[in-house]
A and B are shown apart, each in its own frame.
Chain A
Amino acid sequence: MQAQLRIRRYNPEKDQAGYWGEYTLNDVNPNDSVLDLLHRVKWEIDGTLALRRSCAHGVCGSDAFRINGANMLACKTLVNRLGDGDMIKVQVEPILGLKVLKDLIVDMEPFMDHYKSVMPYFINDDPPPENGRERLQSIEDRARFDDTTKCILCAACTSSCPSFWANDKYVGPAAIVNAHRFIFDSRDKAPEKRLAVVGDTFGVWRCRTNFNCTNACPREIEITKAIAEVKNVLYTGEI
Chain B
Amino acid sequence: MPKIHTFDAVIVGAGGAGLMAALYASRSANVAVLSKLYPTRSHTGAAQGGIGAALANMEEDSWEWHSYDTVKGSDYLADQDAVDVLTKEAINTVVELEHMGLPFDRFPNGKISQRRFGGHTNKDTGKPVMRACHAADRTGHMILQTLYQQCIKNEVNFFDEFHVVDLIRVDDTVRGVVAIEIATGEFHIFHSKAVMFATGGWGRVWEVTSNAHSLTGDGPAIALRRGIPLQDMEFFQFHPTGIYKLGILITEGVRGEGGVLINSEGERFMAKEEYAPNIKDLASRDVVSRAIYLEVKAGRGINGQKYVHLDVTPETVNHYYELDGEDRRIDREYIEAKLPDIADFTRTYLGVDPVKEPMPVQPTAHYGMGGIPTDVNGRVLLDAQKTVLPGFYAAGEVACVSVHGANRLGTNSLTDLVVFGKLAGVDMAEYCQNAELLPLPDGAADEVMAEFERIRNNTGGVKAHEVRRKMQESMTENVSVFRTKETMDKAIADLKELREAYQKVSIEDKGKVFNSDLLEAWELGCLLDTAEVTAVSGLARPESRGAHARDDYTERDDENWLKHTLYHKEGDGYRLDYKEVTLGRYEPKPRVY
Q: Which of A's residues lie within 8 Å of B, judged by CB?
A: 11-14, 31, 42-44, 46-48, 50-62, 76, 78, 101-103, 105, 108, 112, 116, 119-124, 128, 132-139, 142, 145-146, 149-153, 181-182, 185, 187-188, 220
Q: Contacts of B46 on A, CB cut-off 8 Å?
A: 55, 57, 59-60
12 CB contacts below 8 A, A to B, read A14-B511, A48-B517, A50-B513, A55-B212, A56-B213, A57-B349, A59-B45, A60-B45, A132-B95, A133-B95, A146-B103, A149-B145
Q: Which residue of B lies closest to A131 (CB)?
A: B95
Contact of B99 among A108, A135, A136, A142 (CB under 8 A): A135
Given A48-B508, A53-B213, A55-B41; A185-B103 close (CB under 8 Å): yes
- Per the 8 Å Cβ criterion, residues 470-523 of B in contact with A are 507-509, 511-517
Which residues of B are found within 8 Å of A51, using beta-carbon distances? Answer: 516
Residues 344-357 of chain B: 1 if any A CB is under 8 Å from the residue's CB, otherwise 0?
A: 11001100000000
A75 CB to nearest B CB, Å: 10
Q: Which residue from B43, B101, B511 sits with its C-beta under 8 Å from A13?
A: B511
Tell me if B61 is interfacial: C-beta within 8 Å of chain A.
no
A177 to chain B, nearest CB (A): 12
Query: How distant is the Cα of A145 from the Cα of B92 in the complex, in angstroms?
Result: 25
A55 to B150, CA, bound (A): 23
The closest CB in chain A to the CB of B149 belongs to A121
- Known A-B contacts A53-B213, A56-B213, A61-B41; the reply to A139 vs B106 at CB < 8 A is yes
Known: A11-B511, A57-B349, A62-B37. A149 touches B135 (CB 8 A): yes
Q: Hey, which bits of chain B sit against chain A, CB under 8 A?
A: 37-38, 40-43, 45-46, 55, 92, 94-95, 98-101, 103-112, 135-136, 138, 141-142, 145-146, 149-150, 152-153, 183, 212-214, 246, 248, 341, 344-345, 348-349, 463-465, 507-509, 511-517
Given contacts A120-B152, A121-B101, A139-B108, contact A54 B212 (CB under 8 A): yes
Q: Tell me the minimal C-beta distance from B185 to chain A in angstroms.
A: 9
Q: How far is the CB of A208 from chain B (nearest CB, A)?
A: 28
- The one of A11, A103, A124 in contact with B101, judged by C-beta atoms closer than 8 angstroms, is A124
B339 CB to nearest chain A CB (Å)? 14
B511 and A48 within 8 A (CB)? yes
| The one of A13, A42, A57, A128 that contacts B513, using a Cβ cutoff of 8 Å | A13
Contact A138 B40, beta carbon cutoff 8 Å: no
Interface contact B513-A12, CB-CB below 8 Å: yes
| Interchain CA distance A59-B516 in the complex, whole Å | 21
Q: Which residues of B contact A59 (CB under 8 A)?
A: 45-46, 138, 141, 341
| With contact pairs A60-B46, A122-B146 given, residues A142 and B40 touching in the complex (Cβ less than 8 Å) | no
State the Cβ distance, B80 to closest chain A Cβ, in Å: 26
Chain A residues with Cβ below 8 Å from B142 are: 149
Closest to A60 in B: B41
- Nearest-neighbor residue (CB-CB) of B341 within chain A: A59
Rounded to whole Å, the gap between the CB of B369 and the closest CB of chain A is: 21
Whether A142 pairs with B105 at a CB distance below 8 angstroms is yes
Q: Are A122 and B106 in contact (CB under 8 A)?
A: no
The 9 closest A-B pairs by CB, nearest first: A122-B101, A136-B110, A47-B508, A121-B149, A43-B465, A121-B153, A134-B98, A47-B517, A48-B509
- Expressed in whole angstroms, the Cα–Cα distance for A62 and B212 within the complex equals 11
Residues of B within 8 A of A151 (CB): 145
Which residues of B lie under 8 Å from residue A187 when comparing CB positions? 101
User: Which residue of chain B has its CB nearest to the CB of A80?
Assistant: B351
A128, B46: Cα distance in complex, Å: 29
Task: Contact check, B95 vs A153: say whether CB atoms are below 8 A apart.
Answer: no
Whether the Cβ atoms of A142 and B106 lie closer than 8 Å is yes
Q: Write the nearest CB–CB distance from B490 to chain A, whole angstroms.
A: 25
Closest CB of chain B to A182's CB: distance in Å? 8
A47 and B509 within 8 A (CB): yes
Contacts A55-B41, A60-B41, A120-B149 known; A76 to B111 CB distance under 8 Å? Answer: no
Total A-B residue pairs with C-beta atoms closer than 8 Å? 152
Q: A134-B95, A185-B101 are in contact. Are A76 and B348 (CB under 8 A)?
A: yes
Q: Which chain B residue shows the least CB distance to A145?
A: B103
Verify B463–A102 contact, CB threshold 8 A.
no
* Residues on the A chain within 8 Å of B42, using CB: 60
Does B345 contact A54, Cβ atoms closer than 8 Å? Answer: no
Find A108's partner among B38, B95, B101, B135 (CB 8 Å cutoff). B38
* Cβ contact within 8 Å between B138 and A55: no
Q: How far is the CA of A123 from the CA of B154 in the complex (A)?
A: 12
Q: How far is the CA of A58 from the CA of B99 in the complex (A)?
A: 28
Q: Which residues of A contact B511 (CB under 8 A)?
A: 11, 13-14, 48
- A54 near B213: Cβ-Cβ < 8 Å: yes
Give Cα distance in the complex from A145 to B40, angstroms.
20
Residues of B within 8 Å of A138, CB to CB, are: 106, 110
Cα A120 to Cα B150 in complex, Å, equals 9
A53 to chain B, nearest CB (A): 6
Given contacts A54-B43, A59-B45, A60-B43, contact A136 B111 (CB under 8 A): yes
Whole-angstrom distance from the CB of B13 to the nearest CB of chain A?
A: 13
Cα-based distance from A181 to B142 in the complex (angstroms): 12
CA separation between A228 and B246, bound complex, in Å? 38
- With a cutoff of 8 Å between Cβ atoms, the chain B residues found around residue A108 in the complex are 38
* Contact for A122 among B111, B149, B464, CB less than 8 A: B149
Known A101-B183, A122-B149; contact A135-B513, beta-carbon cutoff 8 A:
no
A67 to chain B, nearest CB (A): 14
With a CB–CB cut-off of 8 A, which chain A residues contact B41?
Answer: 52, 54-55, 60-62
A-side contacts of B246, CB under 8 Å? 57
Tell me which of B45, B107, B212, B512 contacts A152 (CB under 8 A).
B45
Closest to B211 in A: A55
Question: How many Å lie between the Cα of A50 and that of B513 in the bound state?
Answer: 9
How long is the Cα–Cα vector from A211 to B433 in the complex, in angstroms?
Answer: 53
- Return chain B residues, CB-CB under 8 Å to A121: 101, 149-150, 152-153
B contact residues around A54 at 8 Å (CB): 37, 41, 43, 212-214
- On chain A, the residues within 8 Å of B98 by CB distance are 134-135
Residues on the A chain within 8 Å of B348, using CB = 58, 76, 78
A150 to B138 alpha-carbon distance, docked (Å): 8
Q: How far is the CA of A156 from the CA of B509 in the complex (A)?
A: 28
- Please give, as numbers and ranges, the residues of chain B lying within 8 Å of A48 by CB-CB distance: 508-509, 511, 517
**A50 CA / B182 CA spacing, docked (Å):** 11
Which residues of the other chain, B, contact A102 by a CB distance below 8 angstroms?
A: 513-514
Known: A55-B212, A139-B108. A153 touches B183 (CB 8 A): no
- Docked complex Cα distance between A145 and B43 (Å): 24
Centre residue among A11, A55, A139 by max chain B CB count within 10 A:
A55
On whether the beta carbons of B248 and A57 are closer than 8 Å, the reply is yes
Q: Residue on A with the closest CB to B243?
A: A57
Taking CB atoms, residues of chain B closer than 8 Å to A153 are 38, 40
Shortest CB distance A178–B (Å): 9
With A and B bound together, what is the CA distance between A54 and B37 in angstroms? 8
Residues of chain A within 8 A of B214, CB atoms compared: 54
Instruction: Name the B residues within 8 Å of A12 (CB-CB).
Output: 513
Looking across the interface, which residue of chain A has its beta carbon closest to that of B40?
A153
Cβ of A134 and Cβ of B112 under 8 Å apart?
yes
A136 surroundings in chain B (CB, below 8 A): 106, 109-111
Q: Which residue of A lies closest to B97 (CB)?
A: A134
The CA of A132 and the CA of B99, in the complex, are separated in Å by 10
Contacting pair B514 A101 (CB below 8 A) = yes
What is the CA–CA distance of A119 and B111 in the complex, to the nearest angstrom? Answer: 26
Q: A55-B212, A134-B112 are in contact. Are A152 and B40 (CB under 8 A)?
A: yes
- Cα distance, A168 to B444, chains bound together (Å): 42
